[in-house]
Structure 1
């Protein structure tokens, strides 16, 4: 059932009884919300090849009702992910123009990404 004015993303809605474990991780100066099985594009990890396992530093872990944000506990928790592929993002056109002077410059950029699949999120010992 769709409600007027709301977008239906078509995804499965988790039930209230289902425990969802996710983590906020840092990679390349950015933060990503990940769960086990998610495929996430992060800034390129140049030392990793497809099939390698990488560790991501954790900022927050949510396990049902338990939220772990203590930095001393999170030091020992590393999210494990497998490198799937290296890709490039969409092209960004950079145009510079100054009126009446004939100054025009055109530059393009494609950001390089690494697609990773999250395999394990260890939880804090209770």
Structure 2
């Protein structure tokens, strides 16, 4: 079982071939292929390669499946005895990626 750790949008994800992951929104259109080059670690059955901070020549191919928004998160601020109440909602945008091939030179 081989896997890799990649940096996407400032966050690190442990991925394998065929995985579907949800990342911060990307500007690529659905159906297009993207190449992720910030690979921090690659593990195969024989060895583990780590980068400083990234592995030179290592890439991960992924396909953009769709864009969307997460469920709404409500933020409620309240101060007692002051009649202060604020209600705000937030829906975080996301992109779903399907991991293709992990390549290491």
Q: How high is the TM-score relative to the length of structure 1?
A: 0.78
Choose the corresponding residue for 1:34, options 15, 22, 26. 15
Query: Within 2, Cα distance between the matches of 1:65 and 1:78?
Result: 19
Residue 8 of structure 2 corresponds to residue 24 of structure 1: no
Residue 97 of structure 2 corresponds to residue 116 of structure 1: yes
Shift of 1:87: 1.5
Q: Which residue of 1 aligns with 2:64?
A: 83
Q: Deviations over 1:13-40 (max 9, x none)?
A: xxxxxxx010001111100011010000
Query: Within 2, Cα distance between the matches of 1:120 and 1:71?
Result: 22
Q: Which residue of 2 aligns with 1:61?
A: 42
Query: Within 2, Cα distance between the matches of 1:53 and 1:39?
Result: 14
Which structure has the greater CA radius of gyration? Answer: 1
**Would you identify which runs of 4 or more consecutive aligned residues in structure 1 move more than 6 Å?**
none
How many residue pairs align between the two structures?
104
Q: Is the 8 A contact 2:40 2:54 kept in 1?
A: no
Query: Within 2, Cα distance between the matches of 1:36 and 1:71?
Result: 23
Query: Within 2, Cα distance between the matches of 1:76 and 1:119?
Result: 17
Q: Is the 8 A contact 2:39 2:51 kept in 1?
A: no
**Which protein has the bigger strand share?**
2
Residue 48 of structure 2 corresponds to residue 70 of structure 1: no
In structure 2, the CA distance between the partners of 1:111 and 1:73, relative to structure 1 (3 Å rule), is closer
